[in-house]
Amino acid sequence: MDEAEIQRKRRDHEEESTRQRARLLGFPYLDTRSFEGEIPLVRDLLDIDRMHRDFIIPLQHGNNDDQHYQFMITAQTPRSLIDQIKRELETGGNRVDFFLISKSAYEVFMLRHDPPKETVYDDIKIASEGDSETIESVSETLNTVSTEKVFDFLLDQADKLGASDIHIENLRDTIRIRMRVDGILHPVANISRDRYRIFMGELSSRANVSTAANTPQSGHMQKDIYRDGSSHLLNIRVETIPTMYGQDAVLRLFNFDESLLNLNLLGLTDEELTQINEVISHPRGLVLMVGPTGSGKSTTLYSILNALNNTERKIITLEDPIEYGITGISQIPIDTTKGQNFADGLRSVLRLDPDVVMVGEIRDGDTAKTAIQASITGHLVLSSFHANSTSAAFSRMIDLIGTNPIFSSSIRLVIAQRLVRQLSDSKQAYTPDEATVKYIERVIDGISDEVLARHGVQRGNYTLYKPVPTGEADPFGYKGRTVIMEQLNVTDEIQKYIRGDIEDVNTDAIEKTAKGLGMLTLEQKGVLAALRGDTTLEEIARVI
């Protein structure tokens, strides 16, 4: 999905939310997209300061022939101001109407009424390997951006590049800035220590972290990003740690866009979607997401929550911290650094009679047992768990709580996933060598020809692809990332391991049984994705 399509979906979602808000507030809703750049502006009715302060814009000015005044307002416009304007203008028989518009629409009109007068800086570019000129150019830009704008500029540029992290690192003579794009860390700039002090000062005030602390700290902040007539909320998790030359900081960026938290947008196969939908359609049970940090677990869990989110269900989440805010869901922050824990939080929220509960992470036996108990007493429980694969998740859970018959009856589905870089359209096909063919055949051994065909692969006829960089817009030959997902559906055969019916409980034994029941492992899914041309074997080896 390209940037324009993402922006369109964001705006569609915002307009629909505004339409619903208008119904609640009792104002007619107005979708301005068809005339935002064309309708003449009414400039002599309200001053610019009031329009900024009270979120109100005149749409039509009364005249001698038609004493009809129209104003565009937002949900933030004071009701007292609306009443005051009505009283003042309706005196003498004038007609006054107010229309509720979205925040993005308001911002577009205000940019026309009061266009910003500011310096335009060059966009940050990601340098290819060995490209010191680009790094020097970006460094110069960051060192010249005005003091009050440099931090916001960096965040805006990181969001524009689709970065998931910004790393601010103290070296002996300079400060290095790197960004993680599509799962890979790229050097971006080397900046002066004056800029570093500005960054840390902003982090201190916005994320509530101390610049003088000699211990690791965690913080959180948010920023509205405005681009191409639309806006979205960027959630930023901040982690700092003291090093030899100063405090290093990592900013994890979560691009909150509720409309994109959708299972259909994750690139899953029909088979994977069907299996997830079948499990979550039941009113009880436990679903676990496993994988390392940065593997997309949270996005998948939130997408499942969004699929379940309707007026008939009570959904509660316990999170450390809350990464996305979702309309219609009760989300509770759990600050484990201040003595709170998921187990106590879960026991408390179960008294609120939820239908669905998401526990941010199962970290200990108490939380695991509480989640299991909740899942057999009429609740659907979703959670993440640190393990390398679905089979390893069972071994780790058994180590945590022992063989447990209740766990065997509660667990419904375990999903392991990774994110791999996706090849861009410039990719080049090639025929693999003999050693690679042997590796491919070893990995896909045991997969039926029918299943291979569903994945677009023919046994014995193998084509792989390599990235072809095409320039500044595509410096690496990859564009975006795609999900590689392993799903272990818990059947009677798998339950035997959990109940203790089988003494040899280890990852290999569980995986062998699951593969015999039709499960495709992460490695198998990855190789099939490479054979389809979605990614490369090198990328699969790096990630999986």
Which tokens is 324 given?
A: 């996305």
Q: Which pLDDT does position 417 carry in this prediction?
A: 95
Give yes or no for a contact between 534 and 482, defined as CB atoms under 8 angstroms apart.
yes
Compute CA distances 322 → 49, 267, 302, 311, 335, whole Å: 35, 25, 11, 22, 10
Two structure tokens written together for 212: 């003088």
Give me 386's structure tokens.
């640190």
Q: What are the angstrom distances between the C-alpha of 527 and each of 162, 290, 375, 539?
A: 26, 20, 35, 10
Q: Tens digits of per-residue pLDDT, 24-56?
A: 899 999 999 989 888 889 888 888 889 998 999
Task: Name the phi and psi angles at 99, rounded to 5.
Answer: -125, 135
Decide if 488 contacts 494 (C-beta within 8 A): yes
Instruction: Name the pTM for this structure.
Output: 0.71
> Would you write out the chain's pLDDT as a tens digit for each of its 544 residues?
555 677 788 889 899 999 999 998 999 999 999 898 888 898 888 888 899 989 999 998 766 556 888 999 998 899 999 999 998 888 777 889 999 999 999 999 998 888 866 556 677 777 776 677 888 888 888 888 877 788 888 999 999 888 999 999 999 889 999 999 988 999 999 988 888 888 888 888 888 888 888 899 988 888 888 877 777 788 898 999 999 999 999 999 987 667 667 888 888 888 889 999 999 999 999 999 999 988 989 889 999 999 999 999 999 999 987 877 788 899 998 887 777 889 999 999 999 999 999 999 999 999 999 999 999 999 999 999 989 999 999 989 988 998 888 999 999 999 999 999 999 999 999 999 999 999 999 999 999 999 999 999 999 999 999 999 988 778 889 988 999 999 999 999 999 988 888 877 789 999 999 999 999 999 999 999 999 999 999 999 999 8
CA atoms of 122 and 333, how far apart (whole Å): 38
Tens digits of residue pLDDT in 263-274: 888 888 888 899
3-state secondary structure of 212: coil
- Compute the distance between CA of residue 370 and CA of residue 408 in angstroms, rounded to an integer: 14
Which residues share a beta bridge with 384? 289
Integer Cα distance of 518 and 425 in angstroms: 32
d(CA 27, CA 295): 43
Rg (CA), the chain: 27
The answer to whether the bond into 321 is cis (omega within 30° of 0) is yes
User: Residue 2 CB: number of other CB atoms within 10 A?
Assistant: 9
